[in-house]
Structure 1
Amino acid sequence: MAHAVSRLRAARLARSAKPFLARGGSRRAHCPGCRLVPSHCICALRPHVEARAGVCLLMHDIEPLKPSNTGWLIADLVADTYAFGWARTEVDPALLALLADPEWQPCVVFPGEFAAPERVVQQVAPTDPGTGKRPLFVLLDATWPEASKMFRKSPYLAHLPVLSLHSDTASRYRLRRSTRGDHFCTAEVAALCLAQAGDLRAGALLQAWLDLFSERYLLAREQRPVDPASAALQRLREAAAQP
């Protein structure tokens, strides 16, 4: 069954006047489930995991179309993943309904130095002790300049707390260039959020799933064969074996 990012991608493609061609992208056929070429497909390796937290992806215009987009990987594993396209002049009513849903306690994940101090929080509880609401992490899936604009120009997010994450580790993401090791891709941010919310196994599996996808993506791009004993595959198996 298609997940939220897959459905958003299909809707975005349906609105396109011409085919989307990723920079340096392959012209070979790709698996519709994992977006890799069939010889490097990882669909059969996708683990099952349960998470109390949810993820709301607010995605910049062409982000769902990029073959290296990692929001897709979040939706692969986290059942309660929602995906919406972002536009400056309009907002999807379904997004507003989600943010107001009494089941959820939403927060925007963004560096605290860009928000008013009274909005910034350093951690969230797995479930709000007063209301029983589950955490919903709102992630701005875009390049850094785009995400900054989205944060400033989305008034419907202005009342939400801002979760400012800190990590002692550098990003392991290798599919897009960044000059800073403290800039994490969307799936890495989601993994940190899940772990903080108490979904430790889900966070570890998402990071391992990202590592495997990145490895296979690069191997396919360089036309190299799959390594059946790779460190990334071993990390995924070890994470999946954890209770």
Structure 2
Amino acid sequence: MIQQRKRKTKDPCPECYLHRDLCLCSLIPRLESRTRLCLVIHAKELKRTTNTGRLAIKALLNSEMRVRGDSREALDLSDLLVPEYRTVLFFPAEDARELDAEFMAEDPRPLQLIVPDGNWRQASKVNTRHPEIAGIPRVMISAPNKSQHHLRAETTEEGMATLQAIAQAFMVAEGPEVGGALMDLYQEKLKRTLAGRGVLPKPT
């Protein structure tokens, strides 16, 4: 497993946060989807070059990002609970259900995924400290992550980067065209990050 370096990328691209000679912005797709993504990202995560959730926002047209942890005013997610969407929290809580074809078949409405983005402690607070979404289902992808390399050290065999997990979810909700495009974007982010660390050769 590749450990994250402590030193920061010098002069990163302001969009993809990779070194400018490794920038992947031209490779980010623009994807239409019925499924809606709301990324709830911790403010500290915005500065991390290994963050992948922002790439999902850039790729998915039906998406938005909300920032928590940057002010004294608590983030309110209650306006996301609209009847036209089947809203769920994508988090492996104890009562989380598997996001699979059976789950999708239970409700004809398009899915809205609220996805916490941050370290485990930051993400878990979205699950426990937002009473306005306490009643919505929790869903997860429980398949083990068999990737040889990771952007960050994972503490469980199911641990994934945010974009990697979103790609898996959209594979179920939307199919391989959207989910596969997101996974390709994650793999490109991973390869270029590892190239910047000297683990893999730089792309030509």
Q: Per the shorter chain, which TM-score range?
A: 0.7 to 0.9
Q: Name the structure 2 match of 1:25.
A: 8
Matches within 5 A, 1:228-243: 228=204
Q: CA 1:46–1:70 in 2, change beyond 3 Å: closer, same or farther?
A: same
Q: Which runs of 5+ in 1 are unaligned?
A: 1-21, 229-243
Does residue 154 of the first structure (1) align with residue 135 of the second (2)? no
Does residue 111 of the first structure (1) align with residue 76 of the second (2)? no
Partner Cα separation in structure 1 for residue 92 and residue 196 of structure 2: 34
Q: Which runs of 5+ in 2 are unaligned?
A: none
Partner Cα separation in structure 1 for residue 182 and residue 148 of structure 2: 13
Matches within 5 A, 1:87-236: 87=69, 90-93=73-76, 95-97=77-79, 99-113=80-94, 115=95, 120=97, 122-123=99-100, 124-125=103-104, 128-129=107-108, 133-171=109-147, 174-222=150-198, 226-228=202-204
Whether the 8 Å CA contact 1:52–1:126 is kept in 2: the answer is: no
Aligned residues: 197
Report the CA distance between 1:61 and its aligned residue: 2.9
Q: Name the structure 2 match of 1:86.
A: 68
Q: Name the structure 2 match of 1:61.
A: 43
The structure where helix makes up a greater share of residues is 1
Whether the 8 Å CA contact 1:173–1:185 is kept in 2: the answer is: no
Higher relative contact order (CA 8 A, sep 6+): 2
Does residue 72 of the first structure (1) align with residue 48 of the second (2)? no
Larger gyration radius, structure 1 or structure 2: 1
Question: Cα deviation per residue 1:55-91 (whole Å; 9 max; x = unaligned)?
Answer: 1111123012211111012112111121112249744
Question: Cα deviation per residue 1:19-52 (whole Å; 9 max; x = unaligned)?
Answer: xxx941122x222232222211112222333222
Aligned structure 1 segments of 4 or more residues deviating by more than 6 angstroms: none
Partner Cα separation in structure 2 for residue 121 and residue 225 of structure 1: 37
Report the CA distance between 1:173 and its aligned residue: 5.5
Whether the 8 Å CA contact 2:52–2:162 is kept in 1: the answer is: yes
Whether the 8 Å CA contact 2:98–2:142 is kept in 1: the answer is: no
Identical amino acids, percent of aligned pairs: 25
Partner Cα separation in structure 2 for residue 173 and residue 73 of structure 1: 19
Does residue 48 of the first structure (1) align with residue 30 of the second (2)? yes
Q: CA 1:77–1:172 in 2, change beyond 3 Å: closer, same or farther?
A: farther
